[in-house]
A = this chain, B = another copy of it.
C-alpha cells in the first residue's frame, strides 16, 4: 500500500499552539491524528488522518476489561535547516508488531503505518517545537474495541497515532537521580509480558514507584521475578553500568523491554570501541564492584529521557553513591551524541535518521 491510500480530513478549527519554551511532557496534543480500524472481514482498513477528537467506545469495549493494548513512543525533531527527522521509526513499528503478537492483536502493515505517520507529521508540521531540548513526541497505540465480556482476543481493534509537542522529560535537565532497588514488587517475569510494550506492565509498576517516591527516590531498579537477584530495568528504562572501563547491560531475557535507545547505545559504544557486554548482572556483583571502586557510572536509556544518569542506589539498607552523584563522562558523551544525531546537529554514521518530506503539500481528500 502506498502513501496515497491514507485519506486526509483537515480540521476546520485549528487549536492555539502552546509557547514552545514552556512545554511540559505529554499534556498538549496537535490538531490531527492517524486512525485505522481492524475487523475480521476487512483486516486493517480505512487508514486516515482526521482532526484530533475524542474516541467513542461502548462501555463493554474489551480494552476497559481485558486490556489488549500495545503502544510505542518515538520523537520527531526539526533541524536548524528546517528538516524534520525521525529516529529509527521502522524499529518502533517492528516492535509494535512484536508486542501485537504477544497480546494476540493482529499484525499491521509497517510500511503503511510509517507512511501514515509521515503524512500526519506533514499535516501537523507547525507543531514541531524548534527550541533546544524540545521535540514532537509520537505515540502510536492499538487497543481492543469489541463490546464483549467473554475472556478472548477481541475481534475488532483501533490503531491510532497522536502527537504531542514536548519539552525535556526532566525539567531540571539530565541531573543524576536517586534510585531505590525494589525489594518487594516485580515488574515482569520470564513467560510474562515484560518484553512487550503493553499497558499492563506500566499499570503494575506504579505501586512500586509510588512507594519509592514516598521515600524520596525518583524511580526503582527492578530485579528479576524468579530469584529477585538480577537487574532488569530502571523505572520504565533500560539500564547500563560502567564497571572498570567496561560497559554492561542486562541481556534480553524475555522479561526486559527491547529498547530502541538501548540497542542504539550498544551500537554507539561498539562504534567507539568501548567494551559493551549484554549479560546477567546481579545486585551482589554490582555492590562488590561499588565496594572495590569499580562502579564508575550508571544510567538509564529510553525514548522520553534519552539518557538518565543514576547518582545513587539504595539497596538492603546500603547506599551506593555513583560518580559522586554527578553525571559521568560516558553518560554525557552518549547523551550528546544520541541527541546530536536525533536533532541533526551531528553526523549520523549509522543511517538512523529518516527525513520526513514536509514540502509535500497535503491536499485534503474528498471521498
Contact B69 A203 (CB under 8 A): yes
Q: Is A298 an interface residue (CB 8 A)?
A: no
Contact B199 A64 (CB under 8 A): yes
B65, B139, B151: the one within 8 Å of A149 (CB) = B139
Residues in B neighbouring A52, C-beta threshold 8 A: 59
Contact with B along A17-30 (1 / 0, CB 8 A): 00000000111010
Contact B193 A198 (CB under 8 A): no
Q: Please report the C-alpha to C-alpha distance between residue A68 and residue B204 in the assembled complex, in whole angstroms.
A: 8
Consensus secondary structure, chain A interface: loop
Q: Is A107 an interface residue (CB 8 A)?
A: no
Q: Is A349 an interface residue (CB 8 A)?
A: no
Residues in B neighbouring A184, C-beta threshold 8 A: 191
Q: Please report the C-alpha to C-alpha distance between residue A206 and residue B101 in the assembled complex, in whole angstroms.
A: 11
Q: Please report the C-alpha to C-alpha distance between residue A149 and residue B198 in the assembled complex, in whole angstroms.
A: 14
Residues in B neighbouring A55, C-beta threshold 8 A: 56-59, 61, 64
Q: Is A150 an interface residue (CB 8 A)?
A: yes
The 8 closest A-B pairs by CB, nearest first: A200-B200, A67-B199, A26-B149, A186-B191, A67-B203, A66-B202, A189-B189, A189-B225
Interface CB pairs A-B, < 8 A, 12: A25-B150, A26-B148, A54-B58, A54-B59, A59-B160, A67-B198, A104-B206, A184-B191, A185-B191, A191-B228, A193-B200, A226-B226
